[in-house]
């Protein structure tokens, strides 16, 4: 598939939508996607522009935007409480990562290979989180690994600008 897509024209009863691995392009409007949508996969296309998160459906559990050309700030405070899987890898999102604002249901966050900046706080992650990828960004400061979620099995922090000494004595046994 190639060309643009109007997500506002989708049937209201649509629950899952896979449009990944195509040549779809242009900007997307996520403000009027179907209210029953639980999975939206737009990964590996050529979408661009900013992403408005203000009216995502409360039923959304998986949002995949990876490997596109999205840019701008990504406001984690506007994610639905139901969101469990978020894939942002390989875009050009910028700004700080306020991980304390992630929905409590979040299991996986993949935000590597962007342009996120600033300090990160890993001490207030969702308690059931199992995967966190913040690699290849422009994150700075020290990293506190002493209060990670007990079920975390994958933590990727490489290729950033962290400084200081890291305490590895209190990592979850799952890592």
Degrees to nearest 5, angle at CA 147 with 141 and 152: 100
pTM for this prediction: 0.96
pLDDT tens for the chain, 175 residues: list them.
899 999 989 999 999 999 999 999 999 999 989 999 999 999 999 999 999 888 999 999 999 999 999 999 999 999 999 999 999 999 999 999 999 999 999 999 999 999 999 999 999 999 999 999 999 999 999 999 999 999 999 999 999 999 999 888 888 888 8
């Amino acid at each position: 598939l190639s060309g643009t897509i109007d997500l506002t024209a989708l049937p209201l009863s649509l629950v899952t939508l896979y449009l990944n691995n195509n040549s779809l392009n242009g900007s997307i409007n996520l403000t009027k996607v179907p209210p029953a949508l639980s999975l939206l996969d737009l990964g590996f296309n050529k979408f661009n522009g900013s992403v408005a998160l203000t009216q995502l459906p409360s039923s959304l559990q998986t949002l995949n935007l990876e490997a596109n050309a999205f840019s701008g700030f990504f406001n984690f405070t506007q994610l639905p409480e139901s969101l469990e899987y978020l894939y942002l890898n390989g875009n050009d999102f910028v700004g700080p990562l306020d991980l304390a604002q992630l929905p409590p249901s979040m299991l996986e966050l993949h935000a590597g290979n962007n342009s996120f900046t600033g300090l990160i706080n890993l001490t207030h992650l969702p308690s059931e989180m199992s995967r966190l990828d913040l690699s290849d960004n422009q994150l700075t400061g020290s990293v506190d690994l002493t209060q990670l979620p007990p079920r975390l099995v994958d933590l990727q922090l490489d290729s950033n600008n962290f400084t200081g000494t890291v305490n590895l004595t209190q990592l979850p046994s799952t890592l």
